[in-house]
Amino acid sequence: MSNLVIDATNISKTYNPDTIPVKAVDNVTLQMQRGEFTALVGPSGSGKTTLLNLIGGLDKSDTGKIIINGTDITTLKPNALIDFRLHNIGFIFQSYNLVPVLTAHENVEFIMLLQNIDKADRDKRVTNLLNQVGLSDKMDVRPSQLSGGQQQRVAVARALASKPQFILADEPTANLDSKSASNLLDIMAMLNKEENMTFIFSTHDQRVIERARRVITLVDGKISSDSGIAKTQPA
Amino acid sequence: MVLTFLDKDDNIASGAFRVAGIFESNNSGWDNANVFINKAELNPLLGIDSNAANEIAILLNSNRNIDTAMVSLTRAFPQYKVESWMDISPETSAMISLMSQVSVVFVIIILLALSFGIVNTMLMAVLERTREIGMLLALGMNRAKVFGLIVFETFFLVMLGCPLGMLIGWATIQYLSVHGITLASKSTMASYGYSSVFHPDLPFNSYLQIIVLVIITALLSSIFPAVKALKLNPAETIKS
């Protein structure tokens, strides 16, 4: 099986093409291997989030191809793309985006419900995942009763629940204090190392950048530097 | 009181009667034009048999029984003329038909108001949860499920409100059917032939019809907010 998880070629995205065009991503080509722990960095407006959205199939690129695990997602119809995301891509958002009326257990379980996984398997996996992120004692707690760091850990567990090919995290530590951020990074590094899970972050956070084994710098929608994939294998 | 009338052979006949009492119904026009006389005293003056009658009124339990009753009576008494109240008083029939049409218009207006209320409520629900719906789409909830989510939410909202509304309506009608609604002074309404106190009544079938109409209206009204939810771009909503 190929280790190539993401193969994006010549992808571009321009917002407001008919009024004031803003080229958010400009002819970017990049590949990512299974098990990478990669940080996308760059100043605000450099196109980090747009690139993540394009790779995650949340937005459509104007040009180029994005092949994920052998499937060109730029050719998928909307419903097929949603289904592809469900089974292949995990998301962690800056603002956690947990469902407020569901408990931590239900938030993690929810994505497996969409995948039609049976109850016994769901319960077992939710328990394991919340154990892994250190929240086994918060299973029945709603997001409003959790700290920011705890909510983001639930989001990590939710992202892992669907057994994705890789996880995209948009500024995952931006809303966290340094202790929570460090704790979250430890968990993600552990998952990367033990489960060979691929993580791609967009971040400004120096602590995240220091922990990343590959750093891609974007400026004005273009890759200005890439530390390369030589350092991507788990230590 | 001296009454003059035509007898069986079209001769003018008169009779003097003592007023035994004055009746008062809800229709002053009818009260002014009608008197009650003992049949045994009237029939000899008309030159007809003491047991004869020129009209027999039959009160049925429901209008729905009219056709069946008329067929049976015509078959049983072919020598007599059998007419329904609609044949005798077509203007009353026309007025009731008109009232039914007006009621339909009122029901349509009320359902339209309900529809606007539901669209407004569900649009607000979608707007308030834009980020949540965007997140669900991002994570992989397909469009049919998001559509179903909004439609089911509307259905549950209606299932909560409709029985409550029906219960309040039923209780109100039950109370008013006993105590009535006084609309104006007795004499004013009596001059139009109506009682001044109305006793509303709503048949059980109407409750069922209203429930069905409300559910259909609610489900149709939920389509617009559901389509709005489907058009959300997850990439934009998550950022918002």
Domain contains A60: no
> Which among A195, A208, A186, A129 has a CA at the least distance from the CA of A166?
A195
Give the one of A58, A78, A162 whose C-beta lies nearest to B138's C-beta: A58
Mean residue pLDDT of chain B comes to 90
Express each pLDDT in B184-222 by its tens digit: 776 777 777 777 888 888 888 889 999 999 999 999 999
B-chain residues within 8 Å CB-CB of A79?
142-144
Q: What pLDDT does B7 receive?
A: 87
The distance of A235 to chain B (nearest Cα, Å) reads: 30
pLDDT at residue B126, rounded to an integer: 93
What integer pLDDT is reported at residue A129 of this predicted model?
92
Those residues with Cβ within 8 angstroms of residue A93's Cβ, 6 or more apart along the chain or in another chain: A155, A170, A172, B135, B238
Q: With a cut of 70, which residues of chain A have pLDDT below it?
A: 1-2, 228-235
Residue A15 in domain: no
Q: Number of A to B CB contacts under 8 A, please give it.
A: 53
Give the gap in angstroms from C-alpha A84 to the nearest C-alpha of chain B: 8
- pLDDT band at residue B182 under the 50/70/90 scheme: confident
Q: Is A216 contained in some domain? A: yes
Helices B204-221 and B223-230, interaxial angle, to 10°? 20
Q: Give A83's contacts in chain B (Cβ within 8 Å).
A: 140, 142
- Side by side, the strands of the sheet bearing A22-33 are A22-33, A4-15, A63-68, A71-72
CATH number at residue A185: 3.40.50.300
Q: Please report, for chain B, the start and end positions of each structural domain, with discontinuous segments joined by +.
A: 2-88, 90-239
Give domain status of residue A6, yes or no: no
Contact across the interface for A91 and B132, Cβ inside 8 Å: no
pLDDT given for residue B19 in this prediction = 93
pTM comes to: 0.76
Domain total in chain A: 1
**A129-139 pLDDT, tens per residue?**
999 889 999 99
Quick one: pLDDT band at residue B8, thresholds 50, 70, 90? Answer: confident
**pLDDT value at residue A234:** 47
A192 assigned to some structural domain = yes
